A and B are shown apart, each in its own frame.
Chain A
Amino acid sequence: MPDLALAFAAFVLATVAAGLIRVAKGPTRADRMMAAQLFGTALASILLVLSWGLGQPGLVDVALVFAALAAITVVAFVRRAWW
């Protein structure tokens, strides 16, 4: 069970890391801001899977906080654009 969870987590992490290419390349600022959105969602799912696979229920709370703050991060970015 831990192996499967870690393998899935590694896959999602690799996906997210590959998404950084767009953040680096992205011509517009909106492309770069997508990093916050992408990371928040993907890392929350990694934490949920790890909480089950590694048997640590506290990680669900961490995923909760990740999701709650994902909204704030994007809004803080975007607000600067129309300041």
Chain B
Amino acid sequence: MAAWWFDGIHVLSLIVLAWGTVSARDPFTGIVRYIAFGLLAALVWARLGAADLALAEAAIGAGLTGALLLSTLGRMGLRRASGRTDEALGPELLDPRGHRPSRRATPVVAFALAAGVGGAIAAASLSLLRTAGPGMGPAVAALQPASGIESGVAAVVLDFRAYDTLLEMAVLFAAVLAVWCLGTIRFRTPPWPTDPVLSSLSRTLSPFLILVAGYLLQAGLHGPGGGFQAGAVLGAAGVLWTLADRRALRLGERGAARTGLTVGLGSLIVAALVPTLAGRPLLTYAPGTAPGWAWVIELCIAISVGLTLTALFMGGLAEAPEEAGKELP
């Protein structure tokens, strides 16, 4: 009985926030609502008992995507009709070319499309649930003793379907390369003074974030957690550091950072190729070595994902020192 109340309020809030996100009249309000929506979506996963997904959604979908959207908003250069550049954009907002973006029909169309697709998926899932058997759970459980990894999710991600993980890491790597090709960080002169609370928050919170990331990393092999989630928490620590200390913006130039970005993909490529030396197919670990590979791959994924998310938030490579001081667009 109480479950109906909880789920009812939950679903209602999700729908209202979804409509609020697409119908927001200025991007800033839309982003606020999107972050709230993301947090409620993470709660959906928690309610369904999928703690790994809830962790990933909370860390990446809500917090970091929100930060990325805000970073992008700052770069869009939108301004009021009066000419003032302002984040608090209202109905008189214009894009850099001076046109007002049209938005009357767009929210309705977007929401209708999303609702239509979502409804179709829900109907298909419900009909599948009635006719489907036990699902993949027993199949995975039957294969797990051979693999040796305790958590079913970790076994699937790192052993049975490690190829998917390799491709995901390649996509993330390509994303950082693309952002570095396209974006430049410009420094304002004179530099804005850093808020002392922000720098002390970064100093106080970063050790705890690293602790939480380490905990998620080692917990991931026999429960909820894992490399991606730990990497997302490390990414949050990186974002905090970037905001608190301007010197962090030169991160992309350091060799250690560039190496760190490659170890995630690199470890999976190594894990793929080493078995071929022994004559086995790609990514087929020697019997009993799967937990060892899993541990190394998880650690490398965490480092890479953390650096990737920080690099994506920064939005590019820092401009060369001789270009500093030019007018911002």
Known A-B contacts A68-B208, A73-B63; the reply to A62 vs B20 at CB < 8 A is no
Asked if A59 and B46 make an inter-chain contact with CB atoms under 8 angstroms apart, the answer reads yes
Complex interface residues of chain A between 12 and 33 (CB less than 8 A to chain B): 13-14, 16-17, 20, 23-24, 29, 32-33
One of B6, B12, B54, B201 near A71 (C-beta < 8 A): B201
Give a binary string over B228-241; 1 marks a CB under 8 Å from any A CB, 0 the rest. Answer: 01001100100110
- Return the CB mask of B177-201 against A: 1 if under 8 Å, else 0: 0000000000000001001001001
Task: Find chain A residues with CB under 8 A from B215 CB.
Answer: 61
A36 touches B36 (CB 8 A): yes
A17: chain B residues within 8 A (beta carbon):
9, 12-13, 16
Interface residues on A, range: 35 or more
Q: Is the CB of A10 within 8 A of B2?
A: yes
Chain A residues with Cβ below 8 Å from B54 are 59, 62
Docked Cα-Cα span, A62 to B55, in Å, equals 5
List the B side residues contacting A54 at CB < 8 Å: 49
- A residues less than 8 Å from B70 (CB atoms): 76-77, 79-80
Residues B87 and A80 in contact, CB atoms below 8 Å apart: yes
Identify whether the interface residues of A are mostly helix, strand, loop, or mixed.
Answer: helix
Contact of B6 among A13, A35, A75 (CB under 8 A): A13
Q: How far is the CA of A7 from the CA of B7 in the complex (A)?
A: 10
How far is B32's CA from A39's CA once the two chains are assembled, in angstroms?
11
Q: Which residue of B lies closest to A76 (CB)?
A: B67
Contact B29 A72 (CB under 8 A): no
Instruction: List residues 29-69 of chain B with CB under 8 A from any CB of chain A.
Output: 29, 32-33, 35-36, 39-40, 42-43, 46-47, 49, 51-52, 54-55, 58-59, 62-64, 66-67
Instruction: Point out the residues of chain B lying under 8 angstroms from A4, CB to CB.
Output: 2
Residues of the A chain whose Cβ atoms lie less than 8 Å from the Cβ of B73: 80
We find that the number of chain B residues with CB closer than 8 angstroms to chain A is 63
The answer to whether A20 touches B63, judged by C-beta atoms less than 8 angstroms apart, is: no
Interface of chain B: mostly helix, strand, loop or mixed? helix
Of the residues A7, A33, A40, A71, contact of B5 by C-beta under 8 Å: A7
Residues of B with C-beta under 8 A to A43: 39-40, 42-43
Min CB–CB distance B12 → chain A (angstroms): 8
Tell me if A61 and B233 are in contact (CB < 8 A).
no
Interface string of B101-124 (1 = CB under 8 A from A): 000000000000000000000000
Contacts of A39 in B (CB 8 A): 35-36, 39-40
- Known contacts A39-B36, A59-B51, A50 near B46 by CB under 8 Å: yes
Minimum-distance CB pairs A-B, first 10: A58-B51, A69-B63, A76-B67, A58-B224, A6-B2, A10-B6, A7-B2, A10-B5, A72-B236, A62-B54
30 contacts between A and B (CB under 8 A): A2-B2, A3-B1, A6-B6, A13-B6, A13-B13, A36-B35, A39-B40, A40-B39, A43-B39, A47-B46, A54-B49, A58-B52, A59-B46, A62-B54, A62-B58, A64-B212, A69-B236, A70-B63, A72-B63, A72-B64, A72-B236, A72-B239, A72-B240, A75-B198, A76-B243, A77-B70, A79-B70, A79-B198, A82-B192, A83-B74
Residues of B bordering A, CB below 8 Å: 1-3, 5-6, 9-10, 12-13, 16-17, 20, 28-29, 32-33, 35-36, 39-40, 42-43, 46-47, 49, 51-52, 54-55, 58-59, 62-64, 66-67, 70-71, 73-74, 87-88, 192, 195, 198, 201, 205, 208-209, 212, 215-216, 219, 223-225, 229, 232-233, 236, 239-240, 243
If A17-B16, A23-B36 are given as contacts, then 4 extra A-B residue pairs at C-beta distance below 8 Å, sorted by A number, are A6-B2, A46-B43, A62-B55, A68-B208
